[in-house]
Amino acid sequence: MSATLSPTFYDDSCPDLKWIVDSVLQAALLKDPRIGAKLLRMHFHDCFVQGCDASVLLDEAQGEKTAQPNLNSLMGFDVVDSIKSAVESACPGIVSCADILAVAAEVSVVLAGGPSWKVLLGRRDSLTGSKRLANRDIPPPTSTFSQLVKAFKKKGLSTEDMIVLSGGHTIGASRCASFTQRLYNQSGSFQADPTIEKRYLFNLQQVCPRNGDGNVTQSLDFSPRSFDNNYYKLVVSNLGLLNSDQVLTTQSQGSAALVSALSRDQTSFFNRFAVSMVKMGNISPLVGNKGEIRNKCRYRN
């Protein structure tokens, strides 16, 4: 399936695509420094449900935006609309919203100082989304190591891909609601997760008090605007924010060894991340005459 995608797909029909995405994103970053992290996450949440088909963008009563992993937490749709509008002005009816998400994810990483990769293009947009599949297939932040491995394997991604793609948490933030259980009631114990470093636990409890506002955010990394390997340095030191971050070292010796290696070698992380992002972008794309090229990303034509 992925053989039908190509990095040169729009070379003739929309040669300025990447430049347009880059210019809109640079302007958006001035208003919202977290927009890059939001769009990277959006691409991930899109690809894990029905494949990379822009189903996550649809405004539907029972659409993916209303699913538990996305509701009140997946953001940046207005910027996707701005990119689509700019692309339509230059190349009407040519570029899919699914490809815009893929390009926006790569540009976001590059603008944050991370690696570049050749984005394969030629996806088409789905006609519908699935709240049910979004609830089922997007691994929650409370995931155990084995649950993460299973969720990624289901999409054709290896354990190494999972560990490397988790490094995307080097940028952005998470809501208290996504990790409060680690602070007060890990695994129904009514105790904090014993793997959290003690001073970090105290600091997190100040940010996210028991029964506090679940929408308050905490940076995933101590350099949340820079795409680097600090995420792995933190996880090695028991300073991972989400349960799904920290289990990379506490529930698998093999995984812990790779996390340790990535914490010492940013170039290796960057190279591996680029490869794994291409693999993720290849999950079940709609090609040929399947789906459509939406005129507006929120609605079917």
Q: Is 53 annotated as a binding residue?
A: yes
Concerning whether 43 is annotated as a catalytic residue, the answer is no
What string of DSSP letters covers the chain? -GGG-BTTTTTTT-TTHHHHHHHHHHHHHHH-TTHHHHHHHHHHHHHTTTSSSSGGG---TTSGGGSTTTTTT---HHHHHHHHHHHHHHSTTTS-HHHHHHHHHHHHHHHTT-------B--BB-S---HHHHHHHSPPTT--HHHHHHHHHTTT--HHHHHHHHGGGGSSEEEGGGTHHHHH-GGGSSS--TTS-HHHHHHHHHHS-TT--TT-EEESSSSTTS-SSHHHHHHHTT--SSHHHHHHHHS-HHHHHHHHHHHH-HHHHHHHHHHHHHHHHTSS-B-TTSSB--SBTTB--
Residue indicated by tokens 């349960």:
243
Q: Is 169 annotated as a binding residue?
A: yes
CA 56 from chain centre, in angstroms, equals: 12
Catalytic residue of the set 45, 123, 124, 131: 45
- Give me the long-range contacts of 232-236 (CB less than 8 A, separation at least 24): 232/167, 232/259, 232/260, 232/262, 232/263, 232/269, 233/263, 235/259, 235/263, 236/260, 236/263
Q: Is 228 annotated as a binding residue?
A: yes
* Pairwise CA distance, residues 172 & 283, whole Å: 24
Q: Is 46 annotated as a binding residue?
A: yes
Q: Is 245 annotated as a binding residue?
A: no
Q: Is 55 annotated as a binding residue?
A: yes
Q: Which residues are annotated as a binding site for substrate?
A: 139
Q: Which residues are annotated as a binding site for Ca(2+)?
A: 46, 49, 51, 53, 55, 64, 170, 221, 228
Residues taking part in catalysis: 45
Q: Which residues are annotated as a binding site?
A: 46, 49, 51, 53, 55, 64, 139, 169-170, 221, 228
Q: Which residues are annotated as a binding site for heme b?
A: 169
